[in-house]
Amino acid sequence: MTSPNIAAGCAAPDQSAPIPAGVDLNRETVLTGIVRNAEGEPVGGAYVRLLDSTGEFTAEVVSSPEGVFRFFAAPGSWTLRALSRSGNGEAVVDATVGVNEVGLAVTPA
């Protein structure tokens, strides 16, 4: 079944759905946030890429209509890169176990 919040061709789960009840946040590392434009408005449909500490591509999701994105990753240094019609943006995070909220702003190129 395809969720209405999944972009065509993207197999990532609905980004705005709650974290599943079975996820142990004392053991899991979650990177989550909202992609926002220069005016602070959410940017839906942005491609959000997860890059490891060496800059290598690891994963990609499409932000929900509300701009929400989420990755499950290992603790450590990660780069999040957003590509959208509103512009592009990047944030670096040193993730720890639990939920790591990341602000990801995009600006026109």
22 domain residue, yes or no: no
In tens, the pLDDT along 51-99 reads: 999 999 999 999 999 999 999 999 999 999 999 999 999 999 999 999 9
The answer to whether residue 41 is domain-embedded is yes
Q: What is the mean pLDDT of the chain?
A: 87
Sign of the CA dihedral running 76, 32, 48, 16:
positive
Residue 82 domain boundaries? 29-96
Work out whether strand 68-73 and strand 57-62 pair parallel, antiparallel, or are unpaired.
unpaired
User: Is 13 part of a structural domain of the chain?
Assistant: no
As for how many domains the chain has, the answer is 1
Q: Which residues pair with 99 in a beta bridge?
A: 30
- Alpha carbon distance 87, 46 (integer Å): 9
Examine residue 60 and state whether it is found in any structural domain, yes or no: yes
With cut-offs at 50, 70 and 90, classify the pLDDT of residue 16: low
CATH code for position 83 = 2.60.40.1120
